[in-house]
Amino acid sequence: MDELSISVVIADRTYKLKIERSEEEAVRAAARAIDEQMKNYASHFQYKDKQDLLAMVALQFSTSTIELDNQIKFSEKGLLLKLEEINGLLTVVPER
C-alpha cells in the first residue's frame, strides 16, 4: 500500500486524509468540485449557513451518481443481451 497524507479544504474547513497515492488526483478534484458547486449555489440561492449548501451539493452529486449507475446497469443489460445473441449465432452448427 502506497499511502499518502493530504489535506483538502471543503467549505472553509481543512480535512486531513490518508489515501492511496493513486487516489490523490481524484480526491483533490472532488474537493474542488464540491467547493465550486457550493459557490455556484451561494451565488444563486439564499441560504442560512454552509450546511445548506453542502446538503444541496450532496443531493446533486448523489442524484448524478444514481443516474449514472442506472445508465450503466441499462447499458450492461443491453450488452449482455447482445453478447448472448452473438454467442447463440456462433454456437449454431450449420447443417450439412
Q: Which secondary-structure segment (H or E) carries 32?
A: helix 24-44
pLDDT of residue 13: 95
What crossing angle do the helices spanning 24-44 and 50-91 adopt, rounded to 10°? 130
Task: List b or e across 35-54, with b for residues whose CB sees 16 or more CB atoms inside 10 angstroms.
Answer: bebbeebeeeeeeeeeeebb
pLDDT of residue 48: 92
Q: What is the pLDDT along the chain (96 residues), one digit of tens a residue?
A: 799 999 999 999 999 999 999 999 999 999 999 999 999 999 999 999 999 999 999 999 999 999 999 999 989 998 999 999 998 888 876 676
- Asked if 64 contacts 57 with a C-beta cutoff of 8 angstroms, the reply is no
